[in-house]
Amino acid sequence: MVVPGPVWGRVFMSQEEALGLAFSSGTVVERKNLYLSPEQKKQIEKKAKSKLDSNLVSYYIGTSSRGSEGVAFFNSHIVRTMPETLMAVVNPDGSLRFVEILAFYEPEDYLPHKKWFGLFENKKLDNDLWVKRSIRNVTGATLTTQAITEAVRRLLATFEIAVAPALKDKK
């Protein structure tokens, strides 16, 4: 007799649903692809204190009659042995609006409570944006909190170094 083991992993929402959370109705959402130069990649990694997996960055710009509503980034990475996918929405001033988990394939016990994600709201990339500084550690989810925080740092550095200058050039 074969007894199946636990099945982990869950998709919480689609990318389309996540973009619906990121931008209000009536906002025009446009996907952009950016190819980082070797120098940009080096600057981002130095500022984020974390390695980038690729020179290709895809992001979504939301624009309404009031102007830029912000930028949404999606990031997939390995937590312990399995992937997670998150969305981070960055305000035009470079602060985080929110972080949302779209998919998590580790046991859900390793996923921080939704309230924990509120710690990222209005944060900018600085030396306090680390677990055990301005981001609390979660017992039993240490690797997840570190992976999420590092991903957010990479996305904020990418915004600051590569995306924000391109948005300013558009104006």
CB-based contact 40:161 (threshold 8 Å): yes
**pLDDT value, residue 66:** 86
- Cross-strand bridge partners of residue 71: 61, 90
pLDDT digits (tens, 9 = 90+) for 157-169: 999 999 999 877 6
Terminal C-alpha separation, the chain: 66
**pLDDT value, residue 169:** 63
Q: At what angle do helices 38-48 and 142-158 cross, to 10 degrees?
A: 140
State both tokens at 27: 């906002």
Q: Could you tell me the pTM of the whole model? A: 0.92
**pLDDT value, residue 67:** 86
pLDDT digits (tens, 9 = 90+) for 53-70: 999 999 999 999 888 899
**pLDDT value, residue 5:** 47
Q: Mean pLDDT by 10-residue block, N- to C-terminus, for the chain (171 residues)?
A: 58 96 94 96 97 95 92 95 96 96 93 95 96 93 95 98 83 54
Amino acid letter for position 38: P
pLDDT digits (tens, 9 = 90+) for 125-134: 999 999 999 9
State both tokens at 31: 């996907």
**pLDDT value, residue 3:** 46
